[in-house]
Amino acid sequence: MDLIYLNREDFAKWDEFVQNSPQGSIFSKSWYLDALGVDYKILAVTQKGSIKAGIVLAKNEVNTFSNPMLDKYLGFLFIKEDGNYQKQISNRYQYMNILANEIKDITSFDYYFHPNFTNWIPLYWKGFAQQTRYTYIIDNSRSLEEIESRFHHNIKRNIKNAIKNGVEVRREIPFEDLWYVVNKTFLRQGSKAPFNKDRLKRFINDLMNRGSFISFGAYNDRNEPIAVLGFVYEEKSSYLLLNGVDIDREIRGANALIVKESIRYFYNICQKYDFEGSMIEGIEQFYRRFGGELIPYYRVWNDNIFNYLKTIAKKYYKRFKYGR
Amino acid sequence: MVAEYLNKENYEEWNRFVDESKTGSIFSKTWYLDALGMNYKILVVRDNQKIQAGIVLPKNEINIYSNPMFDKYLGIIYANFCGDKYKVVSKEYKYAQILAKEVSKFASFDYYFHPNFKNWIPLYWEGFYAQLRYTYIIDNQKSLDEIYNAFQKKIIKKNIDFALKNGITVRKDIDFETFWMLVNKTYLRQGSKAPFSKDRIKRYINELQKRGVFEIFGAIEKDGRCSCVCGVLYEEKSSYLLFNGIDIENMTRGANALMIWESIKYFHSRCKVYDFEGSMLPGAEPFFRKFGGELVPYIEVCNNTFFNFFKKKAKKFYKKLRYGR
């Protein structure tokens, strides 16, 4: 078995591997990373030329080996294997050991893994640390009636209020509207959006050209956007990446209404609807009330003083900046 | 609503609460903690005078707020709340936050929670940190045939057959001295003596055997020698494989697997599940995994302090130095 960094000419093969891997998602595909405009390399375990496992090692905005913004799930991906369960597990342990031996030298290694990565024991043995985080996911194999019947009664009531107040839902809204409301949401929380407007515009354009991004907006009767959503999607799942509310113009239920409409939109297009978190107190409660299942995913990092201090610094920065 | 520490006269109420709770186990019961001989206090939240949530806070062998040896699952225990799932979750969040506010005062707080405690978000909000660990659990709703069929063929089934062919038998009437000798030998082989005293373990096992919650199994070689032992703690909810000692140089291949298989059979009709109790050790995990149990995560929650960061580092360093792992 070989461990190699893939060349650009192997990226199409990598993307196909990602497509078929249970831990693979759009976030690990090379064209998605290119659209984000981040530095990355791909480490793969191969056998007789076929990829058995791998990991995207992307650098984030502060140049450390960690998820860039808008790139939610990375981490280890494995080939889908059939047959004997015990054999599959021991193969996975072997792949993980090979990858871990290489990445343990990357001091800043700190990534969010895909929810289908559910066993980090070999990484524990190699000196990594783990933390469980959560997202809410709606399974689209249920009927739409069942999905909507699970909404919390406050959500249902608020949606009715938004409809009664003439809130209009639009799809594929202008980028300026999306940006305006998302940025305003960050400003309200104490800082500007943590991504650059031009970069976001380019990223969204690239994804729209590939048919994997869509936005939704709730508009008031003065044609002003009052809540917006931005989704990345593929057949496996839709991912709620951007959510903004203009609190000055807010009509109760407008945000819930567009979430509901987006759930309906993706129902026939994707297998799952992923709220993409959140661990933030107010946001978590809002997403929880759409009745999705609480799904854990892992953050895995190299357990060293650099990452410990980074985590502490991040915590204090958030407390100082956003009061949470 | 505030958290309060229980008085001794409320311990029976606490034990009933633990029994009824899905996140409660024998490890949180007062008489079990007494058998271990540990110092502990119990923090609870009441509503309408009834306990709604609580946590046992024992100190371990080095006097910090962490699981003592042989006290595998502690952590927050909830009452079995009724109502729709939103009400249940918001109650759990509310009580967890009340308890967390109190226990955040303990810099060394670091406990393994029960596998049925699935959601630590409210503790995250209170500044705690959590890491996932795993155990393997066999669901006794399955038939013994199904359970056996899930065993790995090469290492487990073949070795069990080999042990049977070579006349290995499994007995439950193993004396404490033999049990101790084999458990201690296992530690000595790994580079140090057992991290618990013989007298303490003897007292602890005696107490549990009096209550009918502990069984010792041993594999007997053809010459009558006992070559491996296991000690299993149990209650109706689960059996827990706490001890496993082997005389590796003088043991017939498969004797340990056969003995564990016999213990699985013994508890099949007595307990709902069979819990292998981990382990995260590179030497033990592959062996337990091969019995085909389900990989079940449980959460270690700790106060996110420098104390705990350095404690973990020191522990890791010590293990590497002592056992080379």
* CATH code for the domain in which residue B311 is found: 3.40.630
Q: How far is A209 from chain B (nearest CA, A)?
A: 37
The series of mean pLDDT values per 10 residues for chain B, 325 residues long, is 94 97 98 95 96 97 92 97 92 96 94 97 93 96 97 93 97 95 88 83 96 97 96 98 93 97 98 90 90 96 86 78 66
Q: Is A132 in Cβ contact with B132 (below 8 Å)?
A: yes
pLDDT in tens, A263-291: 999 999 999 999 997 888 889 999 999 99
| Alpha-carbon separation of residue B85 from B21, B94, B96, B122 (angstroms) | 17, 14, 16, 16
- Per-domain residue ranges of chain A: 2-126, 137-296
Place of tokens 């990991």: A55
Residues of chain A positioned with their CB less than 8 A from the CB of B128: none
**CATH annotation of A2-126:** 3.40.630
CA distance B57 to B111: 9
Q: Are residues B168 and B228 in the same domain?
A: yes
Task: Read off the pLDDT of residues A94-134 as tens digits, 9 standing for 90 and up.
Answer: 999 999 999 999 999 999 999 999 999 999 999 999 999 99
Same-domain status, B172 and B280: yes
Check whether residue B72 and residue B208 sit in a common domain: no
Q: Is the separation of the CB atoms in B25 and B237 below 8 Å?
A: yes
Q: Which of A250, A195, A256, A217 is nearest to A71 (CA)?
A: A195
| Chain-chain contact of A134 with B119 (C-beta, under 8 angstroms) | yes
CA atoms B79, B84, B85, B91: torsion sign: negative
Residues B8, B119 within the same domain: yes
The domain total for chain B is 2
B131 in any annotated domain: no
Least CB–CB distance from B119: residue in A124, A294, A315: A294
In terms of pLDDT, which residue wins out, A158 or A85? A158
CA atoms within 13 A on the CB side of B73: 28
What is the overall mean pLDDT for chain A? 94
Cα B103 to Cα B41: distance, rounded to the nearest angstrom: 12
Residue B51 CB burial class (10 angstroms; 0-12, 13-18, ≥19): buried
> For residue A41, how many other CB atoms are within 10 A of its CB?
12
- Look up the domain containing B54 and give its range: 3-126+299-323
What's the angle, vertex CA A240, arms to CA A238 and CA A244, rounded to 5? 155
CB contact, 8 Å: B129 with chain A? yes
Instruction: Mark yes or no for CB contact A89/B289 under 8 Å.
Output: yes
Give CA–CA dist A199/B212, Å, rounded.
67
pLDDT of residue A233: 98
CATH number at residue B262: 3.40.630.30
> Do B309 and B287 fall into the same domain?
no
The reported pLDDT for the residue numbered B267 is 98
Residue contacts between A and B (CB atoms, under 8 Å): 51
What radius of gyration do chain A's Cα atoms show? 20
User: In a mutagenesis test of the B interface, which of A84, A86, A135 is the best target, namely the one with the most B β-carbons within 10 Å?
Assistant: A86
Q: Residue B324: its pLDDT value, please?
A: 65
Check for a shared fold between A2-126 and A137-296.
yes
CB B160 within 8 A of CB B259: no
Closest chain B residue to the Cα of A280, Cα to Cα: B125
Task: Using alpha carbons, list the distances in angstroms from residue A200 to A173, A193, A194.
Answer: 15, 10, 10
- Cα–Cα separations (whole angstroms), residue B98 to A2, A133, B4, B90: 52, 21, 10, 12
How many whole angstroms separate alpha carbon B323 and alpha carbon B190? Answer: 6
**Chain A partners within 8 Å of B88 (Cβ):** none
User: Does residue B131 belong to the interface with chain A, where contact is any CB pair within 8 Å?
Assistant: yes
Residue B142 sits in the same domain as residue B282:
yes
Considering the domain architecture, whether residues B150 and B288 belong to the same structural domain is answered as: yes
**What residue spans of A38-84 are helical by DSSP H?**
none
Contact A134 B292 (CB under 8 A): no
- For A137-296, CATH gives 3.40.630.30
Do B165 and B228 sit in the same domain of this protein?
A: yes
Are residue B65 and residue B103 in the same domain, yes or no?
Answer: yes
| B241 and B306 both lie in a single domain | no
Does residue B256 contact residue B219 with C-beta atoms inside 8 Å? yes
Residue B307 counted as domain residue: yes
Which residues in A lie closer than 8 A to residue B124 (C-beta atoms)?
A: 279
**pLDDT at residue number B325:** 61
Residues of B in contact with A281 (CB under 8 A): 125
What residues of A are in contact with residue B299 (Cβ under 8 Å)? 132
Q: Does the CA dihedral B142-B144-B146-B150 come out positive or negative?
A: positive
Question: CB–CB of B121 and A129 under 8 A?
Answer: no
Instruction: Tell me the whole-structure pTM to 2 decimals.
Output: 0.92
Within a domain: residue B175? yes
Q: How far is B130 from chain A (nearest CA, A)?
A: 6
Residue A279: which of B121, B131, B297 has the nearest Cβ?
Answer: B121
Q: Min CA distance, A222 vs chain B (Å)? A: 36
Residue of B nearest to A89 (CA): B289
Spatial CB neighbours of B51, under 8 Å, sequence gap ≥ 6: B13, B14, B17, B44, B45, B79
pLDDT band at A324 (very low <50, low <70, confident <90, very high): low
Which of the 8 DSSP states describes residue A24?
A: -
pLDDT-derived band of residue A188, with 50, 70 and 90 as boundaries? Answer: confident
The span from the CA of A217 to the CA of A259, in Å, is: 10
What is the Cα–Cα distance from A287 to A274, expressed in whole angstroms? 10
Q: Do you find a cis peptide bond into B238, omega within 30 degrees of 0?
A: no
Return the pLDDT at A44: 98
B285 touches chain A (CB under 8 A): yes
- When pLDDT is cut at 50, 70 and 90, the band that residue A6 belongs to is very high
Residues B64 and B118 in one domain: yes
**Residue in A with minimal Cα distance to B121:** A279
**Residue A153: which pLDDT band, with cuts at 50, 70 and 90?**
very high
pLDDT digits (tens, 9 = 90+) for A201-242: 999 999 999 999 999 999 999 999 999 999 999 999 999 999
ipTM value greater than 0.90: no
B212 and B278: one domain?
yes
pLDDT at A39 over 90: yes
